[in-house]
Structure formats: C-alpha cells, structure tokens
Chain A
Amino acid sequence: MEEPKKKAPPAWATQLLTWYCKPELLEDLQGDLNEYYDRNVKTKGIRKARLIYIIDVLKFFRLYTIRKPEFLNLLISWIMIGSYIKTSGRSIVRNKLFSAINIIGLAVSMSVGLVLIATLSDVLSYDKFHANYNKIHRVLSRYEYLGDKGNNFMATTSLKAGRLIKEEFTGIEEVAILQSGFDSDIKVGEKIVPLHGYWANESFFKVFSFELLHGHTATALKEPFSMVISETAAKKLFGNEEAIGKVVTYNNDKSYTITGIVKEPPFFSHIHFEMLGSLSTKESDKKALDEEMVWDSVWNTWVYLLLPQNADIPLLKSNLAQLSKREDPSVKNTHIELDLQPLSSIMFRDSLGNQMGPVLGSTLLWVFGGLCFVVILSACFNYTNLSIARSLKRTREVGIRKVIGALNSNVATQFIVEAVIISLSALAMALLLFFLLRPHFLSIEPDIQKMFTLHLSPVTILYFVGFAIFVGIAAGIFPSVFFSNINAIQVLKSATSFRGMNRITGRKILIVIQFCISIILVSASIGVYRQYQHYISFDLGFNTENVLNISLQGNKAELLKKEISELPEVKGISQSLLVTSVGNYWGTNMKYHGTPNDSCGVSYNSIDENYIPLMGHQLIAGKNFSVKPDSVEESEVIVNMQVLKRFNIANQDPQKAIGDVLKVDRKNLTIIGVMKDFQYGRSNNKTSQETVFRYLDRKANIMNIKIQSNDLIGTYAKIESIWKKIDPVHPFEAKFYNQQIEEAFAGLRATLKLAGFLAFLAISIASLGLLGMVVFTTEIRLKEVSIRKVMGASEGKLLFLLGKGFVFLLLISTVISLPIVILFFQNVVFPNTANHAPLNIFEMLLGVLAILLLALLMIGTQTLKVARANPAEVLKNE
C-alpha cells in the first residue's frame, strides 16, 4: 500500500483552511480542493500538486469564505474577561504578600525598562524633522597611512572630496558641505557676543530642513561674507531689532552681512549651531583655499548628500571607491577610504571619529538593553516561581472551572489576564519610579543631558503600556500553560495527591541564578569602584591640591594675573599650554644627535617659569626656566628621565645630560633640566612616556592658580568677579585640578553608577523572590513544624531545619559567581588597562557577605515566625 501521509495534501494548509473558512462552506470546499489535488497528483506529480493545493488554499481566502467573528463567542469571552478580572483581582487581594512581591519586583525592573524605552524613542526621533530624512547620507572617510588599517572611520571627509562629488557625480540631488571653525566673537557696535557655528555651502538649507524665519533658502548662504544666525543669537546681538541685512564684525576683522535668521535647531538634531557662515567666503581667498583643497585633509569637513528616492547606494559607493583610487596618488603613502552613512544611523554607529556632537553608539545601547533584560527576566522568574509554588491553592479552582466547561484556552487566558493585571499595576508604580529615576539618569554624564530629554509623549506612553502587557504575558505564560494542563479529575479527587511541587529543582535553579546575577553585579561594581578610587587619587608625580585652572579663552594673561595676585589667598600663579593628566595631549617629533636615524614622538607642555614650583614637579638635575621676553627664540627644554632612557643620553646620567642638545619640533633645544617621570596622560594610560616641558613662547591657554584658603568657594567667587571685570564677554571657565581629574573619569563613573544601580535592583528582586519562596515553603511545612514542636524539637533546631536549604542555595551562588567576577577582572579587564589597582578580594567578599546577611535576615525572620507559632493553634485548625 502507498503511504497515506505522502499522498495527502499538506496538513498545515488544510488546517489554515479549516481555521479561516466558514463552517458551512468548509466541507464542500475541502472536497473540491481534494478532488483537484487528486487529479493534479495524477497529471502533474505530487510536488506540483501540493504546491497548487497550497496556492489554492491561499486564494480561497476571500471575503465570502472568511469566518465572521461569532457574536455569541465574543459575548461569552467578554463576560468571561470580566469574570477573569474579578477573580484575578480577588486572588491578588487575598495573597497580599505575594502580590506585593510580584508588583514591587516587576515595577522596579520595569522602571529601568521604561528608561530604556524613553531613551530609545529619544534616539529614534533624532533628525526626523528633516523632510528628506530618508534621503540624506553622510560621507565618511578612513585615513590610512602606509597601509596601516588601524584607524576608524570618521564622520568627516575632505573639502576636496565634497567638491569633487558635487561637481562630478551624477544622480545626486544636492551636496551640503559643512566645515568647523566658524566660531568667534561677533561684534555689533559695542556689543560682543561669542557664537559657535560652522561654515556651510549654499545647498545647506536645501538638504536640511532647518526652518528659515527670514531670508531665502536658495540664496542665504550663497554670497561670500554672508551669514545666517539663529533666533536666539539674533536676540542676543540685536535685541528686538530687525537683524536681517545688518552688518556684523567677525573676530574683530571681517564684516559679514546677515542674510537669514534660522529657527533654533531642534533638540533632536545632531547638528547644532548658533550661526552659519557662507563657505563661499573661504573660497574667495584663493590661496588659503588651495591649501585646504588637499585630499588627505579629512579632519574638519562634513559632507551630506541628498540622494533621489531609490538611489543606487552600492553604485554610489563603488563610484566613491573609484574617486579615492584616482585621488590617492595626489598624497604620498596615503589611502583615503570613503563610505556612506544614512542619517538614521548617525546616533547608533560606534567609534566614529570627529562627530559633530555626542552620539550614543549601539554597544552602549546593547549593554544597557541586555542588563535591563536580565533584571526584567529576574522579576518574571519571581512571578513564575511564586505562581507555580502557590499552585496547590489554585488547582481546585481550576479543576472546578474545567468541570463546568472551561477549555484549556479559557484557563490559560485567565492566568495571562491575571499576570497582565499585575504588570499593569506594576506599570503605575514603575512610572512613579521612572520620574524619580529620570533626573539621576540624565545627570550620570554631561553628554547624556545633551542627548536626551526623556520627555513622555502619548506614543511613548503607548509603548509603556504595550511593554507592560508584554512583560505580563512573558511572566504569565509559564504559569498559564502549567494550569491549563491540569487534569481536572485528578485534582478534584484529591488535592493533596496532585504533585505541583515536582518542579522544585527548577525553582531552586531560578533562585541560584538570581543570586548569581546579584553577586556578580555587586562584586563587579565594588571592583570597578576600587579602580575608580585608585585612578582619581593616583600619584601623578606632582601636586594637584588646591590648584585652580582657568581657561583663558584668548585673553591676555597679564592683566588678569596682576589682579588675581593681589588676592591674599593666592599663593602662586603660572601659565601653561594645557592641563596634563586629564586626557589632553600635545605632541611633536624629537631627535637626538647621538642617534641620528632614530626619531620618536614626544608629548609636551609649554609652561612659564612659575609652573614647575607651583605644581611641585621634581627636578633631578639642572634648573628651571628663567624669565625671558617673548621675542627671544626658543632655546631650552626640560626633559623627563624617559627621554634620557629612550636615546640613552649621557648613559642616563641626569647630571651629565645637562647642556646636551635635542632636536624638538625641528628646533635645537638645550637640555637645562631633567625631571622625574610624571603621568602625562590620564592615570589609566601607561606611565613611562617621553615628555618634555618647553618654554611658553606664545599666548597661554591655561592659567594655574595655587590657592591656600579655608574657603575655596569664596576664593573662587572672588576670582570669578575679577574675570568678569576683565572679560565681560566670555563666561568664566575654571575648575579645580582634582575636579578635572575626576571628570576625566566621568565615563567610568557613569558605568559605575549604572552598574551599581542595576546591582541594587537585582538584589532587591532576588531578595523579594527569596522572601516569597521562604514564606511559601515554611507555610506549607507549618503542620510538620508544629508536630515536631509537639514532639519536643527546640526552636533553634527548627530554624536550622527550615533555613538550611536556602542557605545552601546562597552558598552555591557565591561559589559559582565570585570566581566568574575574579576571572573576568584578571583576564579581560586588567590586561587592557594600565596602572590598575590590585583586585581586592576581601572587599568583594564583604559585598557578598552583605547580600548574604540580607538574605539570611529574611530567611531568619520568616522561619522564626513559623518556628514560634503555637502548635496547638495550628493543629487545632486542621
């Protein structure tokens, strides 16, 4: 005989038909299809026949064949939903403790989820206001020197590439070119306002939809020496007067005409500016332009392409590759790789250099999302765990429902509805927590505040509700399957014989997992905190105590210095090019005549004669710089020990090295001093670096002030008022050195805050889950405990009996998770970070101990309650 299965039409298609077709049409239709199928099997073969069958089933999906939702069923399910809500509500109220545990646990974890959703919806709303949002692409470039592929792509490209694309490429509607550097003080009459902005070409307003309040999109940025300013800038410059057509002075030098007023760029724009200067201004200076029109000058120009609908992106990319192939020979040993990036991915792409502003990057999002997922999962575990643990009390209810006529699906719906009710009430609480969390989340890092608002819109609220329902279903799915599969007869015959408890191992595993997560997060946070403390109190090799660094912002220092030095609290003033040890680098090349073929990069700071004593840098040999007039050619240098080692100058003897000559930055400089090595970069960078001090021969950027005062804030205010007197235009930018060092590790601090917070959440949720389990298991054993007590067991013994299982679980979690954290630090974190502090296992153990104590406290109080119960009361009730 032939196998009937092979001969039959595909079962799923038949099922689909049964599902959608009206019952009165079904039989006849199925028969017809079968008849055709049999016929096709004979004439065309099984495979084709099956295919035709499937197609026919899909084709019969028509208005007149579709089953209409039946009114009666609808009515019944509506009535039942009402009943489900009622019974669920009762069950929630009846078990106040368990419901509270579930609601609090879900609320806490959902609040993080809400932050994530709000963040996501913020990020996704970036740049959406552009009418051509989907058609704008940015040109990226990657700089490759001598085949070194180590560099990442950058958001910038060369001006030359932008112009070539504009002139030569077909199939591109518009090319917007932006260039940094249009920042300066703008002067109108006597008023000076510092503004920030970009150079932009005339297509800027055609590509982007920044709204022009005055002026024409086509011509605003066309003529040289024209500029567009934002509404706020206009207000700052002109007050309520008409700004358009006015002439302003840029940088005390050139005059520009204001040709347009643009509405403030929206918050969710990756481009922010207060003014735009016409790029044609730069093009009017032929010589300067030629210098800039270099293929490998890819550092300060952003190029945006407006492509037609359905543009052929691969073709465009291959054209870009050809362009760089053609232009590469114009610069030696260099290859510039070009790529395109749609506007929608700007906020998500990681490690792209030269961004216009802060971007989120997808890694951070994934990490945050992953942690959220873990926390929410943990709360869902709790729900599942507790619901099934309580199954004994609900099985009879389910049994009776089934006997009366509830289908499996009805029971399943009931439990899902119950879970969703719980998650919705959790949402209300989570929303409250969200409002509490929001300011803290935004203040984790300054950049975050610039990127997100986390404001709620109706759409986000909708997402929230959807999210809550989803979490409810996720939490309820397992219990609902469990309950709907209950055998009614068995349950009703004898409730105690029903083994709902055979999943005990599974639940134990869930508890262990939850505690592992908590312990991992806590000990990792402690580990990171130790590193952070270590880095910000790192011995840099000089003294940063009570040093205030003022950013001079182009001001001449003399006047300020004179005024400030009159303050009694000020112990010293020096000037420098930059602030070291906070992640600023200034470098050049260095050569030594002893080893003519060897040259190396060297980091430097240019300082005046007061800097070394003020900062407490230690000179091993030689002397400090002495005062020199500005006009004298640079001739002296102070080097660190590493420089002597690098070139083996005078056999590394500092005394003998004095007087030797180094070629730094193509200048011959005499070594007048040798200082001890100090930490030039951030303290998590490598220590031994070739570093020199040069004499400051131009305007300083930073003024360092050593203060000796009990009232640092008061002194700061005094200095600020002096600044305001001397420079009323620019805001006072000054920070204490130690504060700057802390800010240099803001990223680490943000991670720490986030990890610590999530650890806290994980602990709360795990503890809640444990509490629920303990309450439940002890309640179940109440009778057993009472009998034991009657027989003479002591309270202590009972405590041990009830608690030992849980304590064992906690110990297992510790044994599993602590080594994971230690191995992670030693094998993943430490090899990649310099100057790390040693792992303090003792501290981590303390953290773990705190968790364990919390858990023990919970186990203890609950078991004690049971152990102390009066056995007579318990046994009487039976």
Chain B
Amino acid sequence: MKGTNLGEFEELVLLTIAAMVTEAYSVAICDDLEKKTKRSVKLGVVHAVLNRLEEKGLAKSSLGEATNARGGKRKRYYTVTNAGKASLLKSKELRDQYWSLIPELTLKRI
C-alpha cells in the first residue's frame, strides 16, 4: 500500500528531521544531508520530499517566527509524527532482522 513504505531518500530526510529535533527546516535539512551523504542535494528535491512526507502524514510542519534573514519570510519547521516514528522504527527493525541473519564472515571480506 502506498504511503506506508519509505523510499531511501525519504527515509534519510525523515531521519534528519528526527535528528535535528526542533531546528529542521528545508534549507538546514538540505545542508545537513549534503554534509553527511557527501552528495549534492538539490533544494527542489528536498522540498518535494518534505511535501510528500507531510501528505503521507509522516511529518508535520509549522511556521516559525519572522526574522531579518530570508527577506523577512518565516521558516517552516518540520517534526516527525507518531506515524513517522512508527515507520522509521519499522524499517530499522526490518534491517536489523536481516543484519542478524548475515554471518559475520561474509562482511569481513570487504
């Protein structure tokens, strides 16, 4: 069913939101992802994903206070909803399950 599964990039964005706690807004998320993944992340893509996450009910947003930066425009802060937390946990569990099945030897060869 659409909406319950997380795409790779969606999961990353959702994790970033969770990690940044109260400071998660589009540009910050974009910068953080760029730093951690070492690949160029386009604002437009992040924006689209944030929009989608909100539509799926995995994240919610609220507008912050106006500041002098950003031409007086307010930031939109994102937080993870309960459903978002659940789906993050679910995907972690899934991964852990697989990890526990892999014999240690297989990976040591890398």
Given A27-B63, A28-B26, A56-B43, does the pair A34, B73 have CB atoms closer than 8 Å? yes
A6 interfacial by beta-carbon distance below 8 Å: no
CB distance from B82 to the nearest CB of A (A): 23
CB pair A60–B47 under 8 Å, yes or no, is yes
Contact of A27 with B74 in the complex, beta carbons under 8 Å:
yes
Contact A60 B75 (CB under 8 A): no
Q: How far is the CA of A8 from the CA of B20 in the complex (A)?
A: 30
- Do A32 and B47 touch (CB < 8 A)? yes
CA distance A59 to B46 in the complex (A): 13
Q: Which residues of A contact B51 (CB under 8 A)?
A: 25, 64
Q: How far is the CA of A35 from the CA of B71 in the complex (A)?
A: 8
Tell me which residues across on chain B come within 8 A of A716, comparing CB atoms.
Answer: none
What is the minimal beta-carbon distance from B7 to any residue of chain A, in angstroms?
16
Chain A residues positioned under 8 Å from B25 (CB to CB): 28
A8 to B70 alpha-carbon distance, docked (Å): 11
Interface residues of A in 19-72 (CB under 8 A from B): 25, 27-32, 34-36, 38, 56, 59-60, 62, 64
A 647-679 binary contact with B (CB < 8 Å = 1; else 0): 000000000000000000000000000000000
In the bound assembly, the distance between CA atoms of A269 and B47 in angstroms comes to 57
User: Does the CB pair A28–B74 fall under 8 Å?
Assistant: yes
B74, chain A: closest CB distance, angstroms: 6
Which chain B residues lie closer than 8 Å to A27 at the CB level?
Answer: 63, 73-74, 76
Do A29 and B71 form a contact, CB below 8 Å, given A35-B27, A36-B27? no
Q: Taking CB as reference atom, which chain B residue is nearest A39?
A: B27
Query: Which residues, 59 to 77 on B, are CB-close (under 8 Å) to A?
Result: 63, 69-71, 73-76
**Inter-chain contacts of B26 with A (CB < 8 A):** 28, 32
A residues within 8 A CB of B52?
64
Inter-chain contact A64/B48, CB cutoff 8 Å: yes
Which residues of A have CB within 8 Å of B103? none
Contact B44 A34 (CB under 8 A): no
Instruction: Return chain B residues, CB-CB under 8 Å to A38.
Output: 69-70
Return B31 CB to nearest CB of chain A, in Å: 10
- Looking at the assembled complex, report how far the CB atom of A224 sits from the nearest CB atom of chain B, in whole angstroms: 70
Cα of A34 to Cα of B69 in the assembled complex, Å = 8
Q: Is the CB of B27 within 8 A of A32?
A: yes
Interface size class of A (residues with CB under 8 A): 10 to 19
How far is B25's CA from A25's CA once the two chains are assembled, in angstroms? 13
A61: nearest residue on chain B (CB-CB)?
B44
List the B side residues contacting A30 at CB < 8 Å: 71, 73
Given A28-B63, A56-B44, A62-B48: A35 and B69 within 8 A (CB)? Answer: yes
A60 to B69, CA, bound (A): 21
Q: Which residue of A lies closest to B61 (CB)?
A: A28
- In the bound complex, what is the Cα–Cα distance between A32 and B75 (angstroms)? 8
Contacts A27-B63, A28-B63, A28-B76 given; indicate if A34 touches B71 (C-beta within 8 A): yes
Considering the chains assembled together, what is the distance between the CA atoms of A32 and B52 in angstroms? 18
CB closest residue in chain A, given B74: A27
Interfacial chain A residues near B73, Cβ < 8 Å: 27-28, 30-31, 34
Does A31 lie within 8 Å of B75, measured CB to CB? yes
**Shortest Cβ distance from residue B2 to the other chain A in the assembled complex, whole angstroms:** 16
- Contact string, A363-374, partner B, CB cutoff 8 A, digits 1/0? 000000000000
Pairwise interchain contact B48-A32, C-beta atoms closer than 8 A: no
Residues of chain A within 8 A (CB-CB) of B75 are 28, 31
- Which residues in chain B, 9-49, are within 8 Å of chain A measured between CB atoms? 25-27, 43-44, 47-48
Q: Which A residues lie within 8 Å of B74 (CB)?
A: 27-28, 31
A273-296 contacts to B (CB < 8 Å): none
Contacts of A36 in B (CB 8 A): 27, 43
Q: How far is the CA of A35 from the CA of B51 in the complex (A)?
A: 19
Which A527-578 residues have a C-beta within 8 angstroms of B? none
Q: CB distance A35 to B44 under 8 Å?
A: no
> How far is the CB of A68 from the nearest CB of chain B, in Å?
14
A35 touches B47 (CB 8 A): no
Is B70's CB under 8 angstroms from A31's CB?
Answer: yes
Report the Cα distance A35→B70, complex, angstroms. Answer: 5
- Contact partners of A8 in chain B: CB under 8 A: 71
Whole-angstrom distance between the alpha carbons of A21 and B98 in the complex? 44
CB distance from B50 to the nearest CB of A (A): 9
* Chain B residues whose C-beta falls within 8 Å of the C-beta of A34 in the assembled complex: 69-71, 73
In whole angstroms, how far apart are the Cα atoms of A633 and B26 in the complex? 106
Report the Cα distance A27→B72, complex, angstroms. Answer: 9
Q: Select from chain A the residue with minimum beta-carbon distance to B70.
A: A31
A60-B44 contact given A35-B70, A38-B69, CB 8 Å threshold: yes
Q: Give the docked Cα–Cα distance between A435 and B71 (Å).
A: 63
Flag A502-519 by CB within 8 Å of B: 1 or 0 each.
000000000000000000
Closest CB-CB distance, A20 to chain B, in whole Å? 14
Q: Give every chain A residue within 8 A of B71 (Cβ-Cβ).
A: 8, 30-31, 34
A30, A35, A59, most chain B CB atoms within 10 A = A35
Q: 7 closest pairs, A vs B, by CB?
A: A31-B73, A34-B71, A28-B76, A31-B70, A34-B70, A35-B70, A30-B73
Can you give 10 contacting A-B residue pairs, CB < 8 Å?
A8-B71, A27-B74, A28-B76, A32-B26, A32-B43, A35-B27, A35-B69, A62-B44, A62-B48, A64-B51
6 extra interface residue pairs, beta carbon distance < 8 Å, beyond A35-B69, A38-B70: A8-B71, A25-B51, A28-B25, A31-B73, A35-B70, A60-B47
